[in-house]
Amino acid sequence: MRISLFTFLSLLSFSLFSQDFNETLEGVRLAEAKSALQQIFHRANLNTGNYDLKYHRLELDIDPSVSFITGDVTSYFEAKSNMSEVTFDLASNMMVSQVMQRGNSLTFTQNGDDELIITLPTIQSAGVLDSLTISYSGNPVSSGLGSFVQETHNGDPIIWTLSEPYGAKAWWPCKQDLIDKIDSVDVFLTTPRFNLSNEAYIAVSNGLEQSQVINATEKTTHFKHRYPIPAYLIAISATNYEVYSHEVPNDGSPFEIINYVYPESLVNAQASTPVTVDIMNLFIDLFESYPFENEKYGHAQFGFGGGMEHTTVSFMGSYNRNLIAHELAHQWFGNKITCGSWKDIWLNEGFATYLSGLVFENLDGNDTFRLWKQQRNNSITAFSGGAVYLTDADTTNVSRIFNGRLSYNKGAMVLHMLRKKLGDVNFFQALKTYLSTPEHAFDYAKTEDFISIVEASSGEDLTAFFDDWLYNQGFPIYTLTWNQPSIGEISIELSQMQSHPSVSFFEAPVPIRLIGTSGETLDLILDHTTNQQNFFETVGFIVQDVLFDPESDLISANNQIILGVEEFEFDNDIVVYPNPSKDIVNIKVPNTITIESIEIFNTLGQLVQKQNFSNRISIENMASGMLFFRISTNKGVVHRSVLKN
């Protein structure tokens, strides 16, 4: 498993720094898959389940030139049941020297299951909040893919972490539980001065920097974060960063986007990061305020390709715009609301991917957005199966969880199709509602939570939509047959096959574009609900061509457009009268022609009546409005429209 995964990651790394949409996506996915790796193999530690974490203060000493950490971690925790001991996750090679509570030293043990078990002096009753401080040190074990990394860039030392929910225990005592967000944290990072001219390292962590205290030999930087955060989104780094910032006006409550970059990358970064403000403004406009606007946003460069969305400070391997957009999007979708299980990973990754698409739409325009959607669809339809939502078995496979085709691309296009189905106003309102729902904001959500919020917000039953596109597999393959019996109308028959047997029919609004002989265009949306569905549409020009899904709004592939050859020489000799009519319609045909059937469709394309071998039909009981007649004869088919009054 580990060997094959490593091979898989190595293959991806070849394309890491390309600007191409898909390859950039690989860069994102690579880092995120890496961060998840240890999560997959983790067994939730039931021994940490008897308390609710409220607060951590991390006081850490690191020297970027030495792979070692010394720390005091103070934790506030509320007992869920009466407790006589408290357990934290901490790698067994990290040496705990003491545990203190109100001036008293507590007894503790460490074991080979990476547990630190502390005996409490008295029973801590259910509902009671208490705290203690753990002092420890050690050289965090490298997993080979890195959770605490000491290395150099351009000859200069750096320490960085890639926040891993179940790798955090490698470098600090914590509770590695995805569903117990820590209400707030303070991080104090102490680093040595690194040369004789007394230059000091720049330290980075989550939240707002409060202070830098410098003495003769070292510097302590204090960061404060006052939003709920899971352990895997806490990160630190320190090196000889250059620091510069951009201000986000934020309607009169400005906050900073702070960039921590390597000196050797400064020129490139300064050219690349200003767009972060435009992307921030776009997301604020489309959704809501930046969730952490009372603190900051930022980027910190680190030694890994791609990015990782640590809350308030994404760690970045490079500064391409798509990566900036993707990691910023996670601050809402992933950090403010975290996916409730790995089966729901699209709530993080599909959303972040779609938001990076919205950046193409809004900053570059429709042509680029169309290309972006085409590339998503090409990726999705390269294989016939695959669902967005994971099975239980899928969640043990890191390459499936972070599958670019399904969790990222198909998740993103399902959101886009939801937008097309609901319309822009209802779609963006539903996402705003989702982000601000109290049970989920700064907490967790599952797919069924998202669906019920969207249904309540839009007033639509979306069961069939999400069954088809999210829970089941594959995509439709369309055949569209059209003909224009006369100027003024077009007749269309739409059918589909499915690429995968899990879906019997994909209900979808199907966009088409009619192109006239003089370059006229008319966009239509066909509400496709059944096979061999007929549509009769009004068009004021001679149609030369029909384009299927011209803006790539629909997940589909291998579609066929057929110009029906239904006109025949007697077409003009067939007369339907009277028109308008309120009861009887007669069809007059030449002697050589026999009527085989008359089918009448309403404006929704629904068949309302069919009659065989007759030239007279009653429309008396039909609703008023336009009716479309499909008249099949022994010489061919003609279409006529009749106004029922």
Q: Which amino acid is at 329?
A: A
Judge contact between 493 and 484, C-beta under 8 A: no
Report the alpha-carbon distance of residue 361 to residue 415 in Å, rounded: 15
Between 280 and 494, CB nearer to Zn ion: 280
Between 327 and 549, CB nearer to Zn ion: 327
Angle at 309 between CA 303 and CA 314, to 5 degrees: 60
Min dist CB 308 to Zn ion, Å, is 8
Between 32 and 180, CB nearer to Zn ion: 32
Angle at 69 between CA 67 and CA 74, to 5 degrees: 160
Min dist CB 349 to Zn ion, Å, is 5
What's the farthest any 2 CA atoms get from each other in the chain?
110
Between 150 and 379, CB nearer to Zn ion: 379
Residue span binding Zn ion (CB under 5 A) among the ranges 142-150, 256-264, 348-356, 572-580: 348-356
Between 32 and 89, CB nearer to Zn ion: 32
Min dist CB 91 to Zn ion, Å, is 27
Between 26 and 32, CB nearer to Zn ion: 32
Q: Which helix (H) or strand (E) holds 543?
A: strand 543-548
352 binds Zn ion, rule: CB under 5 A: yes
Report the alpha-carbon distance of residue 494 to residue 512 in Å, rounded: 11
Min dist CB 387 to Zn ion, Å, is 19
Site string for Zn ion, 577-616 (x = CB under 5 A): ----------------------------------------
Its sign, for the CA torsion 38, 42, 46, 47, is negative
Structure tokens at 47: 């021994």
User: Which residues, in sequence order, are CB contacts of 156 under 8 Å at separation 6+?
Assistant: 239, 240, 262, 263
Min dist CB 341 to Zn ion, Å, is 16
Min dist CB 485 to Zn ion, Å, is 51
Residue span binding Zn ion (CB under 5 A) among the ranges 78-86, 99-107, 341-349, 434-442: 341-349
Min dist CB 1 to Zn ion, Å, is 23
User: Which residues, in sequence order, are CB contacts of 163 under 8 Å at separation 6+?
Assistant: 35, 231, 232, 233, 234, 235, 308, 310
Site string for Zn ion, 10-39 (x = CB under 5 A): ----------------------x-------
Structure tokens at 563: 């110009």
Between 77 and 351, CB nearer to Zn ion: 351
Total site size for Zn ion, rule CB under 5 A: 3
Judge contact between 378 and 371, C-beta under 8 A: no
Report the alpha-carbon distance of residue 645 to residue 642 in Å, rounded: 9
Between 118 and 352, CB nearer to Zn ion: 352
Between 171 and 402, CB nearer to Zn ion: 402
Min dist CB 348 to Zn ion, Å, is 6
Min dist CB 353 to Zn ion, Å, is 7
Name the nearest CA neighbour of 35 among 382, 437, 310, 259: 310
Q: Which residue has the tokens 């005592």?
A: 173
Kindly state the DSSP code that residue 229 receives in the 8-state scheme.
Answer: B
Site string for Zn ion, 186-225 (x = CB under 5 A): ----------------------------------------
Residues 32-91 that bind Zn ion (CB under 5 A): 32
Tell me: cis bond preceding 578? Omega within 30 of 0 counts: yes
Residue whose beta carbon is closest to Zn ion: 352
Footprint of Zn ion on this chain (CB under 5 A)?
32, 349, 352
